Structure 1
Amino acid sequence: MKNKIIFVVSLLFGLLFIVFGLNKFLNFMPPPPEMPEHLMKVMGAFMTIGWLMPLVGIAEVVGGILFIIPKTRAFAAVMVFPVMVGIMLTNTVTDTSGLPIALVFFVINLWVLYENRSKYAPMFTE
């Protein structure tokens, strides 16, 4: 039962990352019209750095695909962790409207990292 729950949660997590990663290239979800001015400035700065958004989009799409596959989930959790940290910082410092869903997905990522902690042990041994 636990494996089924992990798979369903990982599937939803992965699909979310795939959709939002693809949106960085295809722009099929317009930004909300009531976006605060300071957040618009931050997003404008991100767009000014020409390589940043495509890099994040690629990391999100690839990480989302790998997150769905049980064999690569541990790697994907590490791969998308920096993106999740950025999402959490944006939603805590700049605009808190998306904080509840960001917190849920951050906890999911931490849960998958914790569940796969034995796979990371060789990185920390001599």
Structure 2
Amino acid sequence: MKNKIQNITNGILAVLMVIFGLNKFFGFIPVEPPADPIAQSFMGAMFTSYLFIVVAIAEILGGILLIIPKTRFLGWLLLLPVLFNIVAFHVAHDFIGNGIWLLPTLLFAINTYFQFKTLKKVMEYEQI
């Protein structure tokens, strides 16, 4: 049962990250600008610099790595700063805005629980 939950959450999170990463390049999902002027300045700076491309590639690559069981931890590590930034941005500047950021955050929290549980098993196995 735990494996099924882990695989389902990993799959959904991976698909979301790949879709949102590809959306940064192709723009097939319209995104409204945030209402806060500071948030608009931040998004404007991100769109006009290399940071936008780096985040998009990290989302796509992290999502792909999450699907493959042997590279799941690497995908988790790659998505950690991306999701931290998403949460920090929305909590600080655009909390009332669209709530789509809550789903990847929840899925990532569940994924983190399973990653640490797996890591704990590996550490116990190596001590024996």
TM category (shorter chain) comes to 0.7 to 0.9
TM-superposed deviation, 1:32: 2.3
Counterpart in the other structure of 2:18: 18
CA distance in structure 2 between the partners assigned to 1:46 and 1:61 by the alignment: 17
The structure showing larger relative contact order (alpha-carbon pairs under 8 Å, at least 6 residues apart) is 2
Alignment RMSD: 2.1
Aligned to 1:31, the other structure's residue is in SS state: coil
TM-score normalised by structure 2 residue count: 0.80
Unmatched 5+ stretches in structure 1: 122-126
Identity, in percent, stands at 36
| Counterpart in the other structure of 1:2 | 2
Q: In the alignment, does 2:29 pair up with 1:48?
A: no
What per-residue deviation string (whole Å, max 9, x for no partner) do you get for residues 15-54 of structure 1? 0000000011111111126x314232221111122x1111
| Contact 1:18 1:64 (8 Å CA) reproduced | yes
**Structure 2 match to 1:124:** none
Note the 1:70-109 alignment, pairs <5 A.
70-97=69-96, 98=99, 100-109=102-111
37-46 or 19-28, larger mean C-alpha shift: 37-46
Structure 1 residues 111 and 105, CA, compared in 2 at 3 Å: closer, same or farther? same
CA contact (8 A) 1:87 1:102 kept: no
Q: CA deviation at 1:103?
A: 3.6
Q: CA-to-partner distance for each residue in 1:78-106, whole Å, 9 max, x for gaps? A: 11101011011111101113363354134
C-alpha distance in structure 2 between counterparts of 1:90 and 1:9, whole Å = 23
Residue in structure 1 matched with residue 126 of structure 2 by the alignment: none
Contact 2:66 2:76 in 1 (8 A): yes
- Partners of 1:75 and 1:110 in 2: CA distance: 12
Name the TM-score, length of structure 1 as normaliser: 0.82
Partner deviation per Cα, 1:38-76 (whole Å, 9 max, x = no partner)? 232221111122x11111111100100110111111111
The alpha-carbon deviation at position 117 of structure 1 amounts to 2.4
Paired position in structure 2 for 1:64: 63
Unaligned segments of structure 2, at least 5 residues: 124-128
For these two proteins, the number of residue pairs brought into alignment is 119
